[in-house]
Structure 1
Amino acid sequence: MAKSIARRIEYLISDILQEKGIELLEVEYKKEHGDQMLRIYIDRDEGVDLNTCTIATRAVQDIIDQDNIDYDHLEVSSPGIDRLLKRDKDFIKHQGERIRIKTLKPLDGQKTFVGILLDTSNDVLKIEIDGNSRSIPRNIISQIRLHPEI
């Protein structure tokens, strides 16, 4: 049920955010410590600052409230420097950047891979690890995050 509510919220707010030059990345709707959390992750080309979060919150809060969606806490924020990559457009946008891939099952005895995102297709993600190209089947990938060197 939480996933369907999150999808409903995405449907309700994505256009209004887009009109303000803000990209909706993800909506998270889940119970935490007995409270209903509603997290909205956003981005824009210039980056996300406090002002961007304030604009987004003001733009979406009334819409969500008018739809009678129950929540205790609303958070609007950037996904951070180690953001999840989920969509094909994420892979295109972050091509050439360092990523960390976790797989559902071991591939050559390994379940975590860190390298430079080279390319993606419907079937595989290609990354460069220590100068070598590696193809990882997308059907065994559980998570992909940016993994910047700090």
Structure 2
Amino acid sequence: MSLESLISATLAGLGYELVDMSMSAKSGLLRVFIDKPAGISIEDCTVVSNHLSNWLVVENIDYERLEISSPGMDRPLRNLAAYQRFMGEQVQVKLRVALAGQRRFVGALRGASDAQIELEVEGEVLKLDVANIDITRLVPNI
């Protein structure tokens, strides 16, 4: 099991979703972005930080610093559950390989499956293969 899978399972047991994480080999910084339906507070970050700090020691996982944060207003969407949760919202999608000469699209999320997402861009629904998506982020509604 990968570190990401282990952390995700640990957070799920606490009632949180792992949105994203990164580990810098150079600085030893482990960044973990969490969420839950009601949103994330400072107290949530403290609870997760304390729990993961102890868990990382027990699991003998080498790191220098641990940073816990909410995913922010432009949170990434990385799995089917996230796509389904934010159906109808505006998203920005960056593709690995261009489609019709374009790699970036902004539109309303209209459908999602394990294989592709449907994005409404200027009245036209595009079907984008999940395997070709580099990253999808929410567009903040301000």
CA contact (8 A) 1:100 1:147 kept: yes
Q: Deviations over 1:40-81 (max 9, x none)?
A: 111111101111100111122111012221111100111111
Query: Residues 124 and 10 of structure 1: is their aligned pair in 2 closer, same or farther, counting only changes over 3 Å?
Result: closer
1:23 paired with 2:17, answer yes
1:97 paired with 2:92, answer no
Q: Distance in 1 between matches of 2:75 and 2:16?
A: 16
Deviation at 1:27, TM superposition (A): 3.0
Q: Distance in 2 between matches of 1:120 and 1:17?
A: 25
Equivalent residues, number: 142
Q: Distance in 2 between matches of 1:26 and 1:114?
A: 21
Deviation at 1:36, TM superposition (A): 0.7
1:71 paired with 2:66, answer no
Q: Deviations over 1:117-149 (max 9, x none)?
A: 000123321111122212122232211111123
Structure 2 residue identity aligned to 1:22:
Y
Q: Distance in 2 between matches of 1:111 and 1:16?
A: 35
Q: What is the DSSP-based 3-state SS (H/G/I as helix, E as strand, rest coil) of the residue aligned with 1:128? A: strand
Q: Which runs of 5+ in 2 are unaligned?
A: none
Give the TM-score normalised by structure 2. 0.88
Q: CA RMSD in A?
A: 1.9
Q: Distance in 2 between matches of 1:99 and 1:69?
A: 35
Q: Distance in 2 between matches of 1:15 and 1:144?
A: 23
CA contact (8 A) 2:19 2:78 kept: no
Deviation at 1:9, TM superposition (A): 5.7
Query: Residues 16 and 105 of structure 1: is their aligned pair in 2 closer, same or farther, counting only changes over 3 Å?
Result: closer
Q: Which runs of 5+ in 1 are unaligned?
A: none
Aligned structure 1 segments of 4 or more residues deviating by more than 6 angstroms: none
- Work out the percentage of aligned pairs sharing the same amino acid: 31
Indicate the residue corresponding to 1:128 in structure 2. 120
Query: Residues 131 and 140 of structure 1: is their aligned pair in 2 closer, same or farther, counting only changes over 3 Å?
Result: same
CA contact (8 A) 1:10 1:27 kept: no
Give the TM-score normalised by structure 1. 0.84
Q: Deviations over 1:6-47 (max 9, x none)?
A: x23641x4444334322223332123xx41111111111110
